[in-house]
């Protein structure tokens, strides 16, 4: 597994490559935890699955752990370029509403930087 980490306007982008399973998930966990330790604002994360060739429940578990860590802080996770296998795994785990899915990196970054405003009646 390889991870390329970028930052755009406070949004942290993780471009994943290879398999997200078994012993390889530790690298993902460590990379994201290090990035989160350096973030002082509300965490906004994008995971790009374009070059992911496989993911199992342990990979999904790491993503859920990351979500559980940032959600109480108001953090959000977006996913892009999700292939059919990964999308099926997310749907079967009933997490389709937890990870916001976008077609492009630009859409994901814009959406995380411009959340819908809540209106009060």
pLDDT above 90 covers what percent of the chain?
66
In angstroms, the CA 60 to CA 25 distance is 9
Average pLDDT over residues 71-100: 87
**Domains of the chain by start residue, with CATH:** 2-113 (3.30.750.24)
Residue pointed to by tokens 């009060």: 120
Residue 94's contacts (CB-CB under 8 Å, 6 or more residues apart) are: none
Average pLDDT over residues 59-64: 91
pLDDT tens-place string over residues 29-51: 999 999 999 988 899 999 999 99
pLDDT-based confidence at residue 94 (cuts at 50, 70, 90): confident
**pTM (2 decimals)?**
0.91
Residue 120: the pLDDT is: 46
């Amino acid at each position: 597994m390889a991870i390329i980490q970028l930052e755009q306007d406070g949004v942290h982008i993780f471009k994943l490559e290879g398999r997200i399973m078994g012993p390889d998930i530790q690298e993902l966990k460590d990379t994201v935890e290090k990035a989160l330790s350096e973030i002082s604002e509300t965490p906004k994360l994008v995971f790009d699955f374009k070059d992911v060739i496989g993911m199992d429940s342990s990979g999904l578990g790491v993503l859920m752990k990351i979500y559980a860590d940032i959600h109480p802080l108001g953090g959000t996770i977006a996913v892009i370029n999700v292939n059919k296998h990964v999308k099926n795994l997310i749907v079967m785990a009933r997490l389709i509403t937890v990870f916001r899915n976008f077609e492009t990196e630009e859409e994901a970054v814009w959406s995380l930087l411009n959340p819908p405003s809540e209106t009060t009646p």
